[in-house]
Amino acid sequence: MLHKRALNRTDWMVRRHQEEVELGVATSLTTEQYQDLLTTRKSWRESVSGNASPVSLIQELKDEIG
Q: 11 or 66, which is more confident? A: 11
pLDDT of 5: 85
Give the total number of structural domains in the chain.
1
Provide the pLDDT for residue 63. 78
Query: What is the chain's Cα-based Rg?
Result: 13
Find the domain containing 46 and state its range.
Answer: 2-65
- pLDDT tens per residue across span 8-61: 899 999 999 999 999 999 999 999 999 999 999 998 888 766 555 667 766 777
Per-residue model confidence (pLDDT) at position 35 = 94
Q: What is the pLDDT of residue 48?
A: 64
